[in-house]
Chains A and B, each alone.
Chain A
């Protein structure tokens, strides 16, 4: 009898010891979030070590819109990535930091980042979680110490709750901040609801001008071809309207910003910048990495006749833009009506969801 009692006691003790870490503690449960991939989009390779959860996304959104991330609590990520401007900086050529410093590159739109592998115009960040922390400490942006931000967040009860909901406890770390902001930004989509998407779905028609623009966009610029083309699709083709590569599109004969070359140290990368998506392009003026063009008309005019043939590392895909046509005309040789048609088509890529989806908006 005593032997049986001892055995039972021993077993209970073992169970108690093995469960000691979790005794009386609720398991951490999060709510999985399924990214609604727009029709026709390729499947994204989402980070396996940072699964999307409602709690993580909401924390990320709070951080994204909270000016507490900056030195003087005057700027948030959303200050320079305004959803009303396709998550760019309010039409500005360059963003202005907390101390009035002006940047040297145009604010990039933040939609469809789930399909990107490298971030910033020069690709210096290999992940969205790293990218999201960089502007905090950047001296011409938020100019704040990330560890100081951690201290500030730890003092806020709402962040203690939000970090607990997302990660199981209220510990604030730069890594967790990055993971949460990565989750939020991965959910920002542009696609499926633009006029172009409705046309592809067969629920809306394009005007004659927009149709001509689409034909030109997807057409090859080739003197042997019976139809004109603008060669846009080589770099901006597919459902995402970007090839995600880094290329020199021939803006300058003499490079003043090395772009990717500054990151890799390779002269063969000088002048290369990330090819941006053209979705929501109507929202995101001005254009190019340095915001040199204020309008889409100026962009088209540049591609039509002004690509610099001797620009170092001019991408081979630009060969059609520097060809000489019969009569000695160099470039795409598009008429004014054709250039206007291209702009009309580009305007069909506008998806107002970035402005209206409550998930993307400032929670404060």
Chain B
């Protein structure tokens, strides 16, 4: 009898210690930004492929961003902030970042972030950031130096003008052009996951305001542009959508 009890205990212990699917107490989240064009999610080949855009034909060469103010939305839609995290993205090569292992596993209803920085960080001393930090100007090449602050989104490319290729450039900066992005979608974050968001580059020109380099101006540095940068910022903030959520590959 005693022998049986010991065996039973040993078997129970074995089962307990070999839970095939232990749940983590805390998780991280990898985020991938995938550039696409249009509602069909056509893949984008930078500096090569031309896309029809109203009266224009456009090509993309540079999409650089600074992201901050990350948050998950709980099931009631309330923000669960992930503080003091920043990301620099330069599509298509540098297209992902990982939020730290500080997320409580569970069900969420969305993901939010800001393209840009709050005023304090934006106008703070850029020399304080470490050598590989996303906000180090030598890493992101998005700091405007003594004119103050960072470029939040550097969007560049070419379009056809008078039968020839002509550059377009929109550098979106300044506090009033910060872009809040919210992607509402059920997110099962009970494990370490990779969230992929599509960035629809067609939306950059038409999500809210229909804009054209030919008609609305082919450059802006966010000042003296008749509000062009602000309109583009509104477009950009509406151009992200859910693509997939998958387990991270070890």
Contact = CB atoms under 8 A, between A and B. Distances in A.
A316 B62 contact: yes
Contacts of A220: 221, 223-224
A225 interface: yes
Interface residues of B, number: 38
A244 B147 contact: no
Interface of B: 47-48, 61-62, 126-133, 136-139, 141, 143-147, 156-158, 164, 166-169, 171, 218-219, 221, 223-226
Contacts of A314: 167
Contacts of B219: 316, 319-320, 323
A238 B143 contact: yes
Interface stretch (A35-43, A83-91, A125-133): A35-43
B138 to A, nearest CB: 4
Contacts of A42: 126-127, 129, 131, 136-139
8 contacts: A42-B129, A42-B138, A43-B129, A45-B138, A238-B143, A243-B141, A268-B48, A316-B168
Contacts, number: 96
Secondary structure class of chain B's binding surface, majority of residues: mixed
Contacts of A239: 127, 137, 145
Contacts of A237: 143-145, 147
B167 A318 contact: yes
A317 B169 contact: yes
Contacts of A262: none
Interface in A194-230: 200, 214, 218, 220, 222, 224-226
A224 B47 contact: no
Contacts of B218: 319
Interface in A311-334: 314-320, 323
A211 B71 CA distance: 44
Contacts of B62: 316
A310 interface: yes
Nearest to B221: A220
A168 interface: no
B137 A245 contact: no
Contacts of B126: 42, 238
A233 B147 contact: yes
Question: Which of A115, A268, A319, A320 has the largest number of chain B CB atoms within 10 A?
Answer: A319
Contact of A319 (B127, B139, B144, B167): B167
A222 B224 contact: yes
A363 interface: no
Nearest to B144: A237
Contacts of B144: 233, 237-238
Contact of A317 (B128, B133, B156, B225): B156
Given A222-B221, A222-B224, 18 more contacts: A42-B137, A43-B127, A43-B138, A45-B138, A45-B139, A218-B145, A220-B221, A220-B223, A224-B225, A226-B224, A233-B147, A237-B145, A239-B127, A244-B141, A315-B167, A316-B61, A316-B219, A318-B167
